Amino acid sequence: MINVAVLGYGVVGSGVVEIIKKNCESISQKAGQEIRVKKILDIRDFDDTCPDKALITKNPEEIFGDDSINIVVETIGGAKIAYEYTKRALECGKHVVTSNKELIATYGPELLKIAKNNNINYLFEASVGGGIPIIRPLNRCLAANEIYSIVGILNGTTNYILTQMKKDGKDFDVALKEAQKNGYAEANPTADIEGHDSCRKIAILSSIAYNEFVDYKNIYTEGISKITLTDIKYAESLNASIKLVAMSEKVGDKIVARVSPAIVDKDNPLYNVEDVFNAIVVKGDAIGEAMFYGRGAGKLPTASAVVADIIEIVKHWGSCGGYDWNVAEGSNVIDIMETKAKYLVRIKTDNESEAKELVNSLYGNVEWLKPLKVQQKDELAFVTENILEKEHKEKFEVISNSEAVRELVNTIRIL
Amino acid sequence: MINVAVLGYGVVGSGVVEIIKKNCESISQKAGQEIRVKKILDIRDFDDTCPDKALITKNPEEIFGDDSINIVVETIGGAKIAYEYTKRALECGKHVVTSNKELIATYGPELLKIAKNNNINYLFEASVGGGIPIIRPLNRCLAANEIYSIVGILNGTTNYILTQMKKDGKDFDVALKEAQKNGYAEANPTADIEGHDSCRKIAILSSIAYNEFVDYKNIYTEGISKITLTDIKYAESLNASIKLVAMSEKVGDKIVARVSPAIVDKDNPLYNVEDVFNAIVVKGDAIGEAMFYGRGAGKLPTASAVVADIIEIVKHWGSCGGYDWNVAEGSNVIDIMETKAKYLVRIKTDNESEAKELVNSLYGNVEWLKPLKVQQKDELAFVTENILEKEHKEKFEVISNSEAVRELVNTIRIL
């Protein structure tokens, strides 16, 4: 019998308890031992309608001091008390399973080291892609590959908003409110819409794929709050969609990584990923291209990934399948200014010929887009060549300050 | 140091040797021990251009009699000598890794039992979906789920042919010849185009998902050789594509399973799977829907899955992560006649009103399709309701034998 304690009876934590109870028989069969939840830590008060009230305690000592508890599930979130409890559990020799991407992205190397030194596991399949199996496939199933790149839609909230804008012609603010109403976005949506959530996730995936810690703080991150319906129409005119894309790529012994809105062509498998779905495309030297797709969030999908990690630990009891995250000296992520990109650029001008002349003189060669039906008369749009970000930045600055151009409306990367 | 022997130096076997040599350092790091190929068994003669000539032997005793060889890779194929050698290796206490779907689908329960009794592993990630991680994700990552269904495009050859027909308007025979020319189809393409390959693969996936052996011989199987360009045009008029779909679904304690061409709607994630790509959609009670997508065949993708299994064994040395395939008494697959389906039906008639009257009287309610541009004047097509196969069969018989209908041209399931 394996005893599990769940720290934090929120959405994911209560889902973990629910799944272990519901699929108890098949889970125990697959794990080779019976698994049960012995204690739940939560400081809130629960009334009698809570089905797990009898297991809930406010006292962490009932968990850390109980040697019969072998596995701790951390679903508190954040990187403060969750950090403290995770460290303590690992130091007590308890395996820890989590869905907490912030904690892994911030303290991953330290916590994984403690786990390794204690010959126990610290697993986090649920931290990226909700229920989509991605961490273990990357680490195990694709282990024979040198991974070249990871490109994904890692945040369901922003993908839902962008899908609503495209399908129903809703403005960003309206689509965001609807996402909040439907429970797909939080009251404070910053972490999602500004790309911070995707940034932590691509940092975790990259750390696994390239076998060294990639610090999320070094990853350039741009959200979707500046994307308008007109931008989406331009993307459509290019047979493409706008998605919040998180990517990383191995270049020599460094990594190129970024999170930003990107224009995704119809032929790209990410083009068809809509609503709250996530998808991750992995390229490796042997496998070529593989994609993993599914619901990237939600109570039961995420909880099912947590429970899968528990089963894995129990099945291979005594064998530690931990990760080594070497921490590079200095940043292993190439400065975004030294990476290349191709842009859609929208400008407003009162003097079309002068503006075009300026742009052509700056870029040498751009593709001018046909005017859209929705477009205002004073607007022009073009697609640049693939050049260094720092060169784009200089050119955007010249465009912004030129008298021929009244406004640099928006610039969006092309994937 | 872990010594590996490879049985069969064909496409996949030579790929395994190539990957182990090429990615040696990272593979050994991930596995925690150095892995090397010590011997290769192949009865053919190889000249000096073969990079692995020094390792090749024709004498199996050099492998089975060598106690320093811990892992055997079986990439011979078929279920004769491969069966004999696999059994012998397992009985010698050597772990076995294979890409041989025929052997697993035929002798899986027996071989897995021998492995379990000897506390060693018999792994076969490469048997389905080439390099796409699917066996381990199904067994491990989705272990917390009760799996409801698996629906997939599991054969790259047929998907390539159907894509060529759709995209370039090629007839089946022309597309098949092109697939052969490009190395996507074998000289004898029967196993692929008649669905036998897909059948074995869905049997393997189902056995894992539902935790009991599903015998491929009980799965209804129909290939794509009768699919014509006109069928594809009809599918397009329904905003759909024709794909060779392998599926299984748990219904009570039985399983519905079949392989057949099917009309796949544009909204289905399988619709966009083209060329030699494979994709597998898994539905579970917790995860909802997840899809796995990638190259379903080819030397390096398949070999990379074999090597991942080797790494898994080495990483968890001493811990057996085997499968239990209970063998049900009698068939656990529901007779295809007792399952429900919806069809596109094409008929030829000299008397349209009589034919329509007959069909309406048989089905009560069908959706008559608008004539296609390519369609001949004497042809009608309709979509049926979802009813039992045996009822369809009766009705098709009546239609075939009726004087109002000259010919029942084709019937294709709608997914």
Per residue in B100-155, pLDDT tens? 999 999 999 999 999 999 999 999 999 999 889 999 899 888 888 899 999 999 99
Query: Is B393 a known ligand-binding residue?
Result: no
- Among A374-378, B171-175, B176-180, B189-193, which is the least confidently predicted range? A374-378
**pLDDT for residue B377:** 78
Please state whether beta strands A35-41 and A2-7 pair in parallel, antiparallel, or not at all (unpaired).
Answer: parallel
Per residue in A157-187, pLDDT tens? 999 999 999 999 999 999 999 999 988 888 8
Show the tokens assigned to A28. Answer: 């125990």
**pLDDT for residue A355:** 93
Q: Which active-site residues of A does the annotation give? A: 201
**pLDDT for residue B279:** 97
Q: Answer yes or no: do B304 and A29 touch at CB < 8 A.
A: no
Per residue in A66-122, pLDDT tens? 999 999 999 999 999 999 999 999 999 999 999 999 999 999 999 999 999 999 999
Q: Which active-site residues of B does the annotation give? A: 201
Kindly list the residues from chain A whose CB atom is less than 8 angstroms away from the CB atom of residue B270.
Answer: none
Of residues B287, B292, B308, nearest to A140 (C-beta): B308
Decide if pLDDT at B207 tops 70: yes
Residue from B133, B110, B134, B130 nearest B122 by CA: B110
Q: Answer yes or no: do A288 and B300 touch at CB < 8 A.
A: yes
Confidence of residue B375 (pLDDT cuts 50, 70, 90): low
Decide if pLDDT at A142 tops 90: no
The arithmetic mean of pLDDT across residues B365-379, rounded, is 83
A-proximal residues of B, 48-77, CB under 8 Å: none
Show the tokens assigned to A105. Answer: 């992205």
Decide if pLDDT at A321 tops 70: no
What lies within 8 Å, CB to CB, of A65 at 6+ separation is: none
- Among A198-212, B87-101, B305-319, which is the least confidently predicted range? B305-319
Of residues B139, B145, B308, nearest to A144 (C-beta): B308
Q: Which residues pair with A3 in a beta bridge?
A: A36, A69
Helix, strand or coil, per DSSP, at residue A108? helix
**pLDDT for residue A377:** 78
Give this complex's ipTM. 0.89
Per residue in A82-97, pLDDT tens? 999 999 999 999 999 9
**pLDDT for residue A370:** 87
Kindly list the residues from chain A whose CB atom is less than 8 angstroms away from the CB atom of residue B133.
Answer: 133, 137, 140-142, 290
How far is it, in rounded angstroms, from Cα A147 to Cα A142?
8
The share of chain A scoring above pLDDT 70, in percent, equals: 99
Helix, strand or coil, per DSSP, at residue B180? helix
Of residues B284, B298, B311, nearest to A144 (C-beta): B311
**pLDDT for residue B151:** 98
Decide if pLDDT at A190 tops 80: yes
User: Which chain A residue has its CA at the smallest distance from B124's CA?
Assistant: A141
Nearest chain B Cα distance for residue A335, angstroms: 26
Per residue in A28-64, pLDDT tens? 988 989 999 999 999 999 999 999 999 999 999 999 9
Confidence of residue A319 (pLDDT cuts 50, 70, 90): confident
Q: Answer yes or no: do B285 and A300 touch at CB < 8 A.
A: yes
Q: In this structure, are residues A390 and A252 in contact, taking their beta carbons and an 8 Å threshold?
A: no
For residue B240, the tally of other CB atoms under 10 A from its CB is 21
**pLDDT for residue A375:** 64
B-interface mutation test, from A27, A73, A142, A145, most B Cβ less than 10 A away? A145
Question: Among positive and negative, which fits the CA dihedral B278, B283, B287, B289?
Answer: positive
**pLDDT for residue B321:** 67
Nearest chain A Cα distance for residue B137, angstroms: 6
Per residue in A256-274, pLDDT tens? 999 999 999 998 999 999 9
Kindly list the residues from chain A whose CB atom is less than 8 angstroms away from the CB atom of residue B142.
Answer: 133, 304, 308
**Residue B251, CB-side half-sphere exposure with 13 Å CA sphere:** 13
**pLDDT for residue A109:** 95
The arithmetic mean of pLDDT across residues B189-205, rounded, is 97
Decide if pLDDT at A324 tops 80: no
Decide if pLDDT at B317 tops 90: no
User: Which chain A residue has its CA at the smallest distance from B146's CA?
Assistant: A23
Nearest chain A Cα distance for residue B207, angstroms: 14
B-proximal residues of A, 72-131, CB under 8 Å: 125, 131
Q: In this structure, are residues A189 and A172 in contact, taking their beta carbons and an 8 Å threshold?
A: no
**B411 or B371, which is more confident?**
B411
Residue from A226, A239, A222, A246 nearest A165 by CA: A226
- Asked if A313 is an interface residue toward chain B (Cβ–Cβ < 8 A), one would say no
- Asked if B312 is an interface residue toward chain A (Cβ–Cβ < 8 A), one would say yes
Q: In this structure, are residues A116 and A91 in contact, taking their beta carbons and an 8 Å threshold?
A: no
The share of chain A scoring above pLDDT 90, in percent, equals: 85
Confidence of residue A22 (pLDDT cuts 50, 70, 90): very high
Per residue in B253-278, pLDDT tens? 999 999 999 999 998 999 999 999 99
How far is it, in rounded angstroms, from Cα B67 to Cα B55?
17
Task: Tell me what the pLDDT averaged over chain A comes to.
Answer: 94
- Single pTM value for the model: 0.92
Q: Answer yes or no: do B304 and A140 touch at CB < 8 A.
A: no
Helix, strand or coil, per DSSP, at residue A319? coil
Residue from A153, A114, A121, A151 nearest A136 by CA: A121
Kindly list the residues from chain B whose CB atom is less than 8 angstroms away from the CB atom of residue A140.
Answer: 133, 136, 308, 311-312
Query: Is B14 a known ligand-binding residue?
Result: yes
Please state the φ and ψ torsions of residue A63, each to the nearest 5 degrees: -100, -55
Q: What is the DSSP letter of A272?
A: G
Per residue in B318-333, pLDDT tens? 776 677 788 888 899 9
Site of tokens 């057996």: B320
**pLDDT for residue B319:** 74
B-proximal residues of A, 193-232, CB under 8 Å: 211
Residue-range domains of chain A with CATH? 2-129+300-316 (3.40.50.720), 134-295 (3.30.360.10), 337-414 (3.30.70.260)
Nearest chain B Cα distance for residue A257, angstroms: 22
Helix, strand or coil, per DSSP, at residue B85? helix
**pLDDT for residue A390:** 97
Q: In this structure, are residues A260 and A221 in contact, taking their beta carbons and an 8 Å threshold?
A: yes
Positions at the binding site of A for NADPH = 101
Task: Tell me what the pLDDT averaged over chain B comes to.
Answer: 94
For residue A322, the tally of other CB atoms under 10 A from its CB is 16
**pLDDT for residue B26:** 87
Residue from B201, B179, B188 nearest B257 by CA: B201
Count chain A–chain B contacts defined by CB atoms under 8 A: 190
